[in-house]
Amino acid sequence: MTKRTVQFKIYRYDPDKDEKPYMQDISVELEPSDKKLLDALVRLRAKDDSMSFRRSCREGVCGSDAMNINGKNGLACLTDVDSLQQPITLRPLPGLPVIRDLIVDMTQFFKQYHSIKPYLVNNDPPPERERLQSPEDREELNGLYECILCACCSTSCPSFWWNPDKFVGPAGLLAAYRFLADTRDQDTGARLDNLEDPYRLFRCHTIMNCVDVCPKGLNPTRAIGKIKDMMVRRAI
Amino acid sequence: MNVAKRTFDAVIVGAGGAGLRAALQLSEAGLKTAVLTKVFPTRSHTVAAQGGVAASLGNSTEDNWHWHMYDTVKGSDWLGDQDAIEFMCKKANEVVIELEHYGMPFDRTDNGKIYQRPFGGHSMNYGQAPVMRSCAAADRTGHAMLHALYQRNVRANTQFFVEWMALDLIRDADGDVLGVTAMEMETGEVSIFHAKATIFATGGAGRIYYSSTNAFINTGDGVGMAARAGIPLEDMEFWQFHPTGVAGAGVLITEGVRGEGGILRNAQGERFMERYAPNLKDLASRDVVSRAMTTEINEGRGCGPDKDHVLLDITHLAPDTIMKRLPGIREIAIQFAGVDPIKAPIPVVPTCHYQMGGIPTNYKGQVVVPKDGNPNSPVAGFYAAGECACASVHGANRLGTNSLLDLLVFGKSAGETVVEDFQSGQLKLKPLPADAADVSLARLARLDGQTNGESVFDVGLEMRRTMQKHAGVFRFDNLLKEGVQKIGEVAERAKRTEIKDKSKVWNVARMEALELDNLIEVARATMVSAEARKESRGAHVRDDAPDTAENPNGRDDANWLKHTLWYSEGDRLDYKPVNLKPLSDDVEPIALAKRTY
């Protein structure tokens, strides 16, 4: 890769000084080693230190730098900057209140995650050694436990946009199924009760934006389908 | 500025593995606890650990804690304290089993037990052959662990202050610790967190180097705060360079890749580790492998057009094994190296990874400093665990998978000690000094008022380049001497950084400037301590301390079998003895010997 200049159009808003948000046109020269969108944003920050966004691991496991990139949610650290059409348009994740620039208030997102009781429930006295689980049973958790809580999915979901307080959203439901699918968990009944409601689970209309945007290649829609199956099986 | 005061039984700074494990202990005991974290807990850098956590469960090969202890002492090049190492290795099974009970999705053996894989430097029967000791969840062990610990804390109703950055440690005239000052990112407001006990679990500072596997947030905040408050830092010359960072990008490729059968090759395709470590080969200790790789590159056997890296080859493994045991690595290789490891080897170079030194503690998690002739006198109210602390279990070189174990064992231990001290009535809420927040407010006022200063980005870059050049895998007397002077100059420049952004709301520039203050403490400690240590030991290898009959591997036990203590004020150095005596009579001291693999 060589040096090249990249054009951006970035959502800016600092409540401390801006009356309202605006889109800023800005360009930056990238070094040959700058490959990912996050590299470009770090380069931009060296030029304008007021450009605000979250970031940490820069390798797609911490879930900090989710944003809306040319209209689609994704992680800046896993997006090749040269693959993007210019000007690269960056906005905060849709549907959540903006704190500043590309930083959103994720309170509602985490509230929904917490609402599904995201922890293993097993009321048997803990054995001296590990609880046994067959490799096949453990495999049921693949595609579920890898979620990094970046919120790309929930904030691309129209059902979540409309009812962020009532619909758990794809990330929370993926986590709910992660515990329903765990052979060590004993709380299946209560977990299903917790979701048996016109909104919490059933507002998923299988639009599948969540699957389309997940940077980890996970499939919340499938997990939601499996919870619905469990509901049906329980009812008959 | 108006400074709010909040009062707690205990305040924990940091919500990675160590902070979350300590928090659990406190929450479940009913202590009123605040956990401050500058990122949402699951974004902490524990999340990036890949290969596993050590415990001698013996699920696939025979194993016991004596062998684990021997490997750890040997790995530390005898600089680790044997009481703390015994404590850690003995507790390993307990804390790993607890984690499984919390719901951690470990991989499984055919009979349903926790899956274990071989790892560098871990052996059976005192160095004879590789052992399967690393308990793994695919190659995402840290992610699975951090989420399980966070989830358990949700269950325990732990009170988090998310996106609060701790600024300074509060000590009174007696030197006792009374809490911290902290800034809420969303509002820029500063608060005092006044507590009977303060636990630091703030992680490492790998971002002092130019090429690092570490996250942006790994800026040594706790270590910097402690140093500024007069606490010495222990063994800061010892930094682990992980053998396999992706060339150019720095992103980590787990040692678990070699545990699953991966091989390092030079430009001739040779498995060069056979020459350096005939017994454990590619699974020798990390310092040994990183030096071997650097030697191969320095002697012209590096790969690529610039001959600047070696190759990590797993093309001989079954694609199924790669997909099942190393799926995350495959993603990383495709994303950051542009190769699918099923088809082509991954270009790798030694990359700064882990801080062996830190805030001096004992095995109970109490911070200890020299006082009245006792080299290990506890500081009242102050505890530390995880990478920011130096217990010291890793000594001069950490074994892979012992870091996740460290944060579990000592996170729990620090938590238990606080609970005991609290319940025995030993912990008092001492009155805050009138100037408790003054240092922090002055730092913030300086930043807000600074004109004609340098950018944080530029000064930070100079620091990282200086560390990379002057305190790397191999160390040279002249470079270290020059490095001490250069890092001193960078530290002066850091006092005059200027930020253009003055907003109160989520001001990243301000955060990065404050982080640089912490990084600078760590960089100075590292350079000064490294320059002074005139021997080779573990990860600290000098050209003027070569392998001789008198000093095997350049290690000089007669003069340097001791811990470094660096004080920020005046770059003063002090030393204290290594504890060569185990905690109990269950085990004999591991006798000094030459380290070979």
CB pair distance less than 8 Å for B140 and A146: yes
Q: How far is Cα B290 from Cα B310, in angstroms, rounded to an integer?
A: 11
Nearest CB partner across the interface for B457, out of A46, A131, A182: A46
Residues of A in contact with B39 (CB under 8 A): 54, 56, 62, 64
Q: How far is Cα B520 from Cα B487, in angstroms, rounded to an integer?
A: 8
Q: Which of B20, B28, B38, B43 to mutate to test the interface with A (most CBs of A within 10 A)?
A: B43
Nearest-5° Cα angle at A36, B511 to B138:
90
What per-residue confidence (pLDDT) applies to B120? 94
| Cα B34 to the center of its chain, rounded Å | 23
The answer to whether B397 and B285 have CB atoms below 8 angstroms apart is: yes
What per-residue confidence (pLDDT) applies to A86? 98
What per-residue confidence (pLDDT) applies to B33? 97
Q: How far is Cα B479 from Cα B469, in angstroms, rounded to an integer?
A: 8
Q: Which of A33, A34, A57, A108 to mutate to test the interface with B (most CBs of B within 10 A)?
A: A57
Nearest to B393 by CA among B124, B141, B86: B86
Dihedral sign for Cα atoms in the order B254, A77, B205, B208? positive
Nearest to B142 by CA among A221, A148, A32: A148
Residue pLDDT, tens place only, A185-217 = 999 999 999 999 999 999 999 999 999 999 999
B126: helix, strand or coil? coil
DSSP letters along B147-206, please?
Answer: HHHHHHHHHTT-EEEETEEEEEEEE-TT--EEEEEEEETTT--EEEEEEEEEEE-----G
Residue pLDDT, tens place only, B205-216 = 999 999 999 999
Residue pLDDT, tens place only, B386-414 = 999 999 999 999 999 999 999 999 999 99
What per-residue confidence (pLDDT) applies to B158? 97
Nearest CA in chain A to B16: A62
Residues of B in contact with A92 (CB under 8 A): none
Nearest CA in chain A to B215: A57
- pLDDT average, residue stretch B260-273: 97
Q: Is the pLDDT of residue B12 over 70?
A: yes
What per-residue confidence (pLDDT) applies to B570? 97
Residues 423-462 of B with CB under 8 A from A: 455-457
The answer to whether B347 and B209 have CB atoms below 8 angstroms apart is: no
CB pair distance less than 8 Å for B154 and A16: no
**Which residues fall within 8 angstroms of residue B94, CB to CB, at 6 or more apart?**
none
Would you state the torsion angle of the CA atoms of residues B53, B59, B60, B62, taken in this order, to the nearest 10 degrees? 100
Nearest CB partner across the interface for A119, out of B103, B217, B335: B103
CB pair distance less than 8 Å for B186 and A184: no
Dihedral sign for Cα atoms in the order A4, A10, A16, A17? positive
The answer to whether B271 and B282 have CB atoms below 8 angstroms apart is: yes
Q: Is B39 on the interface with A (CB under 8 A)?
A: yes
Count of beta carbons in the 10 Å neighbourhood of residue B452: 6
The answer to whether B165 and B183 have CB atoms below 8 angstroms apart is: yes
- In chain A, the percentage of residues whose pLDDT exceeds 90 is 98
Residues of A in contact with B189 (CB under 8 A): none
Nearest CA in chain A to B186: A99
- In chain B, the percentage of residues whose pLDDT exceeds 90 is 99
Q: Is the pLDDT of residue B2 over 80?
A: no
Instruction: Report how many helices (DSSP H) and strands (DSSP E) chain B contains, helices first.
Output: 16, 20
Q: How far is Cα B255 from Cα A41, in angstroms, rounded to an integer?
A: 31
**Which residues fall within 8 angstroms of residue B279, CB to CB, at 6 or more apart?**
B127, B129, B596, B597
Residues of A in contact with B249 (CB under 8 A): 35
Nearest CA in chain A to B251: A59
What single DSSP character describes residue B48?
G
Nearest to B79 by CA among B385, B587, B416, B529: B529
Q: How far is Cα B332 from Cα B321, in angstroms, rounded to an integer?
A: 16
Q: How far is Cα A225 from Cα B597, in angstroms, rounded to an integer?
A: 52
Nearest CB partner across the interface for A33, out of B107, B248, B506: B248
Count of beta carbons in the 10 Å neighbourhood of residue A129: 14
Residues 519-548 of B with CB under 8 A from A: none
The answer to whether B507 and B188 have CB atoms below 8 angstroms apart is: yes
- pLDDT average, residue stretch B428-448: 96
B58: helix, strand or coil? coil
Confidence of residue B363 (pLDDT cuts 50, 70, 90): very high
Residue keyed to tokens 């002090």: B574
Question: E strands of B24-152, at which residues?
Answer: 33-37, 53-54, 116-124, 129-135
Nearest CB partner across the interface for B105, out of A17, A138, A149: A138
Q: How far is Cα B183 from Cα B172, in angstroms, rounded to an integer?
A: 21
Q: How many CB pairs under 8 A join A and B?
A: 154
Q: Which two tokens stand for residue B336?
A: 């950051």
Q: Given the cut 0.95, state whether the ipTM is greater than it.
A: yes
Is B286 catalytic? The answer is yes
Q: Is B596 on the interface with A (CB under 8 A)?
A: no
**Which residues fall within 8 angstroms of residue B300, CB to CB, at 6 or more apart?**
B307
Nearest-5° Cα angle at A84, A79 to A88:
100
DSSP letters along B455-488, please?
Answer: -HHHHHHHHHHHHHHHSSSSB-HHHHHHHHHHHH
Compute chain A's Rg from CA coordinates: 20
Q: Which two tokens stand for residue A209?
A: 């934006």
- pLDDT average, residue stretch B115-138: 96
Q: Which of A42, A49, A132, A191 to mutate to test the interface with B (most CBs of B within 10 A)?
A: A49
| Strand-pair category, B190-200 with B177-184 | antiparallel
Dihedral sign for Cα atoms in the order B167, B172, B174, B178? negative
What's the predicted TM-score (pTM) here?
Answer: 0.98
Going across the sheet that includes B572-577, the strands are B233-234, B562-567, B572-577
The CA distances from residue B351 to A60, B100, B174, B239, in Å, are 19, 31, 41, 10
- What is the residue type of A165? D
Would you state the torsion angle of the CA atoms of residues B466, B467, B472, B476, taken in this order, to the nearest 10 degrees? 60
What per-residue confidence (pLDDT) applies to B1? 60
Residue keyed to tokens 């040269």: A82
Phi, psi of B295 (to 5 degrees): -60, -45
- pLDDT average, residue stretch B134-148: 97
- pLDDT average, residue stretch B178-198: 98
| Strand-pair category, B53-54 with B33-37 | unpaired
Q: Is the pLDDT of residue B306 over 90?
A: yes
Nearest to B425 by CA among B199, B170, B196: B196
* Alpha-helical regions (H) of chain A: 37-47, 107-115, 135-139, 158-162, 169-180, 188-195, 209-213, 220-235
Nearest CA in chain A to B42: A62
Residues of A in contact with B335 (CB under 8 A): 59-60, 78
Please identify every stretch of chain A with a pLDDT value under 70, giving residue numbers as ranges: 1
Nearest CB partner across the interface for A133, out of B112, B147, B504: B112
Phi, psi of A79 (to 5 degrees): -105, 120
Q: Is the pLDDT of residue B445 over 70?
A: yes
> What is the overall mean pLDDT for chain B?
97
CB pair distance less than 8 Å for B154 and A59: no
Q: Is B29 on the interface with A (CB under 8 A)?
A: no
Nearest CA in chain A to B152: A119
Q: How far is Cα B111 from Cα B8, in angstroms, rounded to an integer?
A: 46
Catalytic option among B207, B286, B330, B398: B286
* Chain length of chain A: 236
Q: Is B43 on the interface with A (CB under 8 A)?
A: yes
Residues of A in contact with B105 (CB under 8 A): 138, 141, 145, 182
**Which residues fall within 8 angstroms of residue B532, CB to CB, at 6 or more apart?**
B237, B564, B573
The answer to whether B149 and A120 have CB atoms below 8 angstroms apart is: no
Q: How far is Cα B290 from Cα B285, in angstroms, rounded to an integer?
A: 9
Q: Which two tokens stand for residue B151?
A: 């989830």
Count of beta carbons in the 10 Å neighbourhood of residue B380: 21
Q: Is B216 on the interface with A (CB under 8 A)?
A: yes
| Strand-pair category, B374-384 with B366-371 | antiparallel
Nearest CA in chain B to A55: B216
CB pair distance less than 8 Å for A58 and B100: no
Confidence of residue B463 (pLDDT cuts 50, 70, 90): very high
Nearest to B380 by CA among B204, B195, B534: B195
CB pair distance less than 8 Å for B216 and A58: yes
| Cα B464 to the center of its chain, rounded Å | 17
The answer to whether B390 and B358 have CB atoms below 8 angstroms apart is: yes
Dihedral sign for Cα atoms in the order B399, B404, B409, B411? positive
- What is the residue type of A184? R
Count of beta carbons in the 10 Å neighbourhood of residue B196: 24
Residue pLDDT, tens place only, B412-437 = 999 999 999 999 999 999 999 999 99
The CA distances from residue B384 to A120, B14, B176, B430, B525, in Å, are 28, 10, 14, 20, 18
